[in-house]
Amino acid sequence: MRKPTIQDVARQAGVGVGTVSRVLNNHTAVKGLTRETVLRAIAELDYTPNPHARRIAGGKSYTISVLLPVLTTEFYARLLDGLETAFQEARYDVAIFPLLDRSRLERYLGSHTLAYQADGLVMATYNLTQMFHERRLRTQQPTVLVDAYADNVDCSFMDNVVGGQLAGEYAATFSGALYAVWVETELDQLFTTRVFEDRRAGFTQAVQDAGRCVQAEYTSSFDTLAARNTAAALLDAAQADPAGLPCTVFASADLLAGALLDEVRVRSLTPGQDVRIIGFDDQPWAASRGLTTLHQPVESMGYEAAQLLLSRLGGFKGPARARRFEPRLIIRDTA
C-alpha cells in the first residue's frame, strides 16, 4: 500500500502544499479552522512527515534538549511525561541529558556541546539564577526552567513554601509530639536546589504560628536504605519516650514517608494512630498505601514549561514569564 504524501494531505484538506507544510512546522500564520482541517486530514490518512525533509525545509532540528539531575526517580519520570506530551503534540523530539556530576554540568555549560544543537533548552530543578546573571549559560537559544525559579527567564515551578505550610498547619492539629524528616541537600553549590529548603521553611513557620514546636528533626539522603535507617532512629527515640506515642511525622518526600511506613508496620504499630505520617509528592503508589501527602501537579508543571518554550520558538518576544503551581493536601489513612 502506498504511503500518503504531503500532496495527498493537501488534496484532502483542500489547501495548498505550503499550508500543510506550515501546519507541520507550527507556523502561527495558519488560522484555527484551516489548521484543524489539515490536522484532520493528516489523522485520516495516517500521514507521517519525513523528519529529515522537515528539518531541511524549516532550518530547524525539531529537537529539544532537556537537562536534568537524574533519570531514576518517579518525580523526574512524571516531569518528563508532561514535557514530552507537549513536545510530541508539537512534533518535536526530546533529547535527555542527565547531569550526574559537577564535571558533566560544567561540560554542558560549553556552547558547542550536543545539548546546544537543539532548537530549545529545558533545565530542571537546579537553582540556576546565578548562572543566568553571570551569563554562564547560553541564552541565545530559547530556554525555560522547570521546578526552579529565576526572574529573567521563563520558568514553571512549584511553590514548595506553600506545600510546607499546608503540611505544618495540618500536622499541628494533632496531639502528641511532632517530628520532621528532611532530605539531605547537595553541599556543592552548583547543584543547590531550594525545593527542600522551601518545604522546611514553610513547615517550620506554620508549626510556630500554631504555637507548637518540633520535638526532633532528622535528615536522610535520598536513598531507600538510608531512609529506612533514619525511620528506625526516629521510632527508637519516640518509643523510648514514655510520652512519645502517638506522634506525627512530616517526611519531606514520599520516599522518606514510605520508608517510615514500612518501619512502623514492622514494629506492629498502627499508621494513622500510633504514628501519623504526612509525605510530600503524592507518588503513584501513595494512594494504594493510604499515605497522606502533598500532591504535586508535576505533569502539569512540565507541560506548561514546554508550552512556554514552544511559544518562544513560535516567535514570542515578550518579557520572561513565570507559571506557579501549588501543592494540595491529600488526606488518607496515615494521618
Q: In this structure, what C-alpha cell is assigned to residue 14?
A: 483542500
CA-nearest of 266, 272, 264 to 235 is 264
- The pLDDT score that the predictor gives to residue 131 is 59
Q: In this structure, what C-alpha cell is assigned to residue 187?
A: 553541599
The CATH H-level (homologous superfamily) assignment of domain 160-296 is Response regulator (3.40.50.2300)
**Domain parsing of the chain, residue ranges:** 6-58, 63-158+298-326, 160-296
DSSP annotation of 4 reads P
Greater model confidence, 317 or 116? 317
pLDDT (tens digit per residue) in 140-159: 788 899 988 888 889 999 99
Least confident piece of the model among 98-102, 135-139, 212-216, 272-276: 135-139
Contact criterion met (CB below 8 Å) for 130 and 152: no
Q: Distance between the two ends of the chain, CA-based, in angstroms? A: 60
Coil vs helix vs strand at 7: helix
Rounded Cα gap, residues 86 and 30, in angstroms: 19
Residue with cell 556552547: 111
List the strands of the sheet with 216-220, edge to edge: 216-220, 177-183, 247-251, 275-278
Q: Which fold has domain 63-158+298-326?
A: Rossmann fold (3.40.50)
Degrees (nearest 5) of the Cα angle 293, 296, 301? 175
71 confidence band (pLDDT: 50, 70, 90) = low
- Choices 3.40.50.10420, 1.10.260.40, 1.10.10.10, 1.10.246.90: CATH for 6-58: 1.10.260.40
- The pLDDT score that the predictor gives to residue 93 is 86
56 confidence band (pLDDT: 50, 70, 90) = very low
Of all residues in the chain, what percent carry a pLDDT higher than 70? 81
pLDDT (tens digit per residue) in 307-329: 999 999 988 999 999 999 999 99
Residue-averaged pLDDT of the chain:
85
pTM above 0.85, yes or no: no
pLDDT (tens digit per residue) in 158-204: 999 999 999 999 999 999 999 999 988 654 444 456 888 999 999 99
Coil vs helix vs strand at 114: helix
User: Identical fold at 6-58 and 63-158+298-326?
Assistant: no
pLDDT (tens digit per residue) in 221-280: 888 899 999 999 999 999 999 888 999 999 999 999 999 999 999 999 999 999 999 999
